[in-house]
Amino acid sequence: MTVVQKKTDNPIAHLTADDVELLGKELDEIRQEVMDSRGESDARYIRRVIDVHRKIELGSRAVLLASGFPPAWVLGTIGLSVAKILENMEIGHNILHGQWDWMRDPKIHSTTWDWDMASPVEQWKHSHNELHHTYTNVIGKDNDLGYGIMRVDEDQPWTPMYLGQPLWSFINACFFEYGIAAYDLELGAVLAKKQTSDPEFRKRARAVLVKIGKQARKDYLVHPLLSGPNFFATLAANFTANIVRNLWSNSVILCGHFPEGVETFEKKSIEGETRGEWYLRQMLGSANISGSKAMHVLTGNLSHQIEHHLFPDLPSNRYAEIAPKIRDLFDRYGLNYHTAPLPRQVGSAWHKIIRLSLPNGWLQNTTARNLPSQLAKLWKMTTGEPKVRRRLIREQAALAAA
Amino acid sequence: MEGMTATVPRPSPARPALRALRDRVLRVAELVTTPVLPADYLDMFHPLRAGTDLRGRIEAVLPETPDAATIVIRPGADWQPHRPGQYVRIGIDVDGVRMWRAYSITSDLGRTDGCFTVTVKAIPDGRVSNHLVRRARPGTLVRLDQATGEFCLPEQRPAKALFVTAGSGITPVMGILRNHPELTDVVLVHSAPTADDVVFGAELRQMAAAGRIRLVEQHTDTAGMLDAAAIAALVPDLAERATWACGPVGMLEALEEHWAAAGMADRLYTERFRPTVLVTGEGGTVTFTENGTSLEADGATPILDAAEEAGVLMPSGCRMGICYGCVLPLREGAVRDLRTGEVTTAVPGDGVLVQTCISAAAGACHIDH
């Protein structure tokens, strides 16, 4: 992958400025149609999802009181995992986007909602709604690209440190909610600039700790205590449900912007960007997941990532309805509507994580037969003299390009 | 009837010790329900219980005239009995959108089923009134405020009373007549387009036949509107009567003028249907209620930009209407969505959240900030 502007086969080269503006107009119309038809059935939908979530959560936590009994543990843990997934994805993420603000229900509103996550909602709304959704896939602006800890582009110089990328990506996936909280705090940048004593940062850090404290107290203390003799089994169930939820949401989010073929953009390319160009960037910078209705609900309809990125504030239950229209638009404007089943998108995203953890071209040049020699080369690239390393890296890249 | 009086929550009827215990238990329960509240779970099973947001359940919708209906509502446990003549604010979801309106309570305080009623007349283009009259179904949950309003009889009942009403202006008066049989000398002058349009027509005529009230019906489709002078002619002992009037703003203003001219302004009590009609124009004065800033904004500039230019520190985000980082409650007035031209209005008591980055003033507006 490389930023779209540097590609030799630029996928938007065939579009004129007028085309792009026309595209924007068509998208505005699709958005308006949904806005005009929002109503009672949509309101019923989100209330039903919230109701179902609460009943599953309540039921699962009740079952887990008997978590010492293995079938209860299994059932309760599955239930709690599903509840936590629903709560984060279809409910929390979408309410916090303001998708349901039009209902004017103070109980289901982006400014009053709170969720079962380590991230305080205000911090998340800033880093997600404002930064990620505005600067989607712009290298250096959209920190969701690798969350500041990954090599996400061939143009980023490779260093041996990146060999650990698959491992820490996996650890990040397991503890995703804490990763997100640290990321919303811009912890990396603050540490690098040694600004941890900044009162504004301290205030935000305190908010995160309070939030984590509440969630942890619930999952790892109060609920286990209520289970009496099953304390440890219930604790383990909560821990498992949190890991499952974290792995799931991490996978969904990887699928949204990270599979092979999703485009990235240069910082300067968005200067003076028009509404049409903004739409186009969202179209090329997102990927969908195809699958069943249940899968769509469990991903918070982020399986319709393209539709979501075009219209982040439309009710999530309507994305499926506009998807065929959006796909038709892609076809008519000669653009690639990126969609695939979940395993393929997850596989593709992890393939990319692994590929970019290695020097440019290394994975491409490696076959079962030349594996020993390639590994030897990689060893030299990692431990060799700087001059040797630079030469080998250049060679690999050239070999792959040829 | 719409009223401007703020609702002051009255103490809950539950005994204080019991309430304190309940609150403590809920606080402990919050440890395991966080981030939602224990109340959110309890409400799923018992939305009308004590100690939660005040709600009501619609039990029946009884047609009164072709375009009016009485709504029977079972209120939550914390409901306080109203005083006849008062109104209640009801929040109901119309096409999925929570909308609040105030309606006069019409029921007899002596009802034994624990319900109260409001009587609603569908007004042209009235989203809530048409919904309540034509589409509301028993079982629907609504939000409620406690009853409020000052359109009530004084402790010292007047010996002689006059009620002047028009259209649905009869509703608070019906609430008074049903609950104050001790009023013996009552004249009711009521205007409606036709005899069939008189809300509570049969009951009023029965009261008149029984000699409880003197009823003057003015059917305006055939007989035209009554002016203040005509009312004075119809009720010769006007000066001896305490008068309560409820109806359209024009009628009330005419009556107020007449009573003031006759030096009896203190004998007239009025209740208005609606606050001043909103005129949505190009731009207007934006007032930020908390920091006190007022500024003139044109109809093409987002409120966010106009406010920042005036030195107001505003919450802001993407500035393109997607991130909702800039939303603030519109308490009163109107704003126009610059993207669609759609106008959002709020009446006093509302708090419609609007995105200031894509909304321009469409008339005077008050924003909480």
Q: What is the pLDDT of residues A9-63, one digit of tens each?
A: 788 889 999 999 999 999 999 999 999 999 999 999 999 999 999 999 999 999 9
* pLDDT on residue B368: 92
Across all residues in chain B, what is the average pLDDT? 89
Best B32, B327, B328, B340 residue to mutate vs chain A (most A CBs within 10 Å): B32
| Strand partners of residue B186 | B161, B213
Is A36 at the interface with chain B, CB within 8 A?
no
Q: What are phi and psi of A337, to 5 degrees?
A: -80, 105
A293 in helix, strand or coil? helix
Of B35, B325, B340, the CB nearest to A130: B325
Q: Which residues of B touch A222 (CB under 8 A)?
A: 31-32
For residue B197, pLDDT over 80 is answered with yes
Give me the pLDDT at residue B13, please.
52
Q: Rounded mean pLDDT of A107-112?
A: 87
What's the CATH class of domain B284-367? alpha beta
Residue B284 has pLDDT above 70, yes or no: yes
Domain with CATH 2.40.30.10 in chain B: 48-149
Q: What mean pLDDT comes out for the span B109-113?
A: 94
Checking if the pLDDT of A296 tops 50, the result is: yes
Q: What is the pLDDT of residues B28-86, one digit of tens each?
A: 999 999 999 999 999 999 999 999 999 999 999 999 999 999 999 999 999 999 999 99
Check residues B127 and A311 and name the one with the higher pLDDT: A311
Question: Which of the pair, B299 or B162, is modelled with greater confidence?
Answer: B162
Residue B200 makes CB contacts below 8 A (sequence gap 6+) with: B64, B106, B119, B170, B174
Q: What angle do CA B244, B245, B250 make, to 5 degrees?
A: 155
B48-149 homologous superfamily: Translation factors (2.40.30.10)
Which token pair is B310? 């005036």
Dihedral sign of CA atoms A118, A122, A123, A128 in order:
positive
CATH topology of domain B160-271: Rossmann fold (3.40.50)
pLDDT band, very low/low/confident/very high, at B126 (cuts 50, 70, 90): confident
Confidence (pLDDT) at B281 = 55
A61-85 residue pLDDT tens:
999 999 999 999 999 999 999 999 9
- The minimal CB distance from B97 to the residues A41, A104, A126 is found for A104
Whole-angstrom CA distances from A250 to A64, A144, A169, A176 are: 26, 11, 10, 6
Quick: pLDDT tens for A225-244. Answer: 999 999 999 999 999 999 99
A354 touching B (Cβ < 8 Å) = no
pLDDT per position as a tens digit, B4-27: 333 344 445 556 888 889 889 988
Q: Do B31 and A42 touch (CB under 8 A)?
A: no
Q: Residue A147: what pLDDT?
A: 63
pLDDT for A264 equals 87
pTM, rounded to two decimals: 0.87
pLDDT at B278 over 60: no
User: Does A277 reach chain B within 8 Å, measured CB to CB?
Assistant: no
Contact residues, chain B, for A119 at CB < 8 Å: none
pLDDT score of A24: 96
| Predicted confidence (pLDDT) per residue in B226-266, tens digit | 888 999 999 999 999 999 999 988 899 899 999 999 999 99
Q: Which of B246, B300, B295 is nearest to B273 (CA)?
A: B246
Supply the pLDDT for residue B273.
61
pLDDT value at B219 more than 80 = yes
Identify the pLDDT of residue B14.
53
What's the pLDDT at B6? 37
The answer to whether residue A111 scores a pLDDT higher than 60 is: yes
pLDDT of B268 reads 95
Residue B287 has pLDDT above 60, yes or no: yes
Considering only A332-346, B162-176, B278-292, which range has the smallest mean pLDDT? B278-292
What residue ranges of chain B are covered by domains with CATH 3.10.20.30? 284-367
The pLDDT, as a whole number, for residue B7 is: 39
Residue B279 pLDDT more than 50?
A: no
A134 and B CB contact within 8 Å: yes
Summarised one tens digit per residue, pLDDT across range A242-278 is: 999 999 999 999 999 989 889 888 888 888 999 999 9
What is d(CA B108, CA B180) in angstroms, rounded to the nearest whole number? Answer: 9
Mean pLDDT of A202-230: 96
- Mark A282-307 as b/e (b = at least 16 C-beta within 10 Å): bbbbbbbbebeeeebbbbbbbbbbbb
Task: State how far Cα B336 lies from the chain centre.
Answer: 24
CB interface of B with A, residues 299-328, below 8 Å = 317-318, 320-325, 327
Nearest one of A130, A155, A132, A158 to A143, comparing CA atoms: A132
d(CA A279, CA A30): 13
| CB-nearest partner of B352 from A39, A104, A125 | A104
Interface contact flag, A110 B324, Cβ < 8 Å: yes
Scanning every residue of chain B, which has its alpha carbon at the shortest distance from the alpha carbon of A128?
Answer: B323
pLDDT value, residue A148: 67
Pairing label, strands B97-104, B87-94: antiparallel
Percentage of residues in chain A with pLDDT exceeding 90? 75
CA distance A378 to A90: 43
Residues of B in contact with A214 (CB under 8 A): 34-35
Q: Look at A197-211, A294-308, A380-394 and tell me which has the smallest mean pLDDT.
A: A380-394
Largest CA distance in chain A: 69
Tell me, what's the pLDDT at B222? Answer: 95
So what's the pLDDT on residue A2? Answer: 65
CB neighbourhood size of B41 (10 A): 15
> Is residue B313 over pLDDT 80?
no
Cα angle vertex A379, ends A395, A353, to 5°? 75
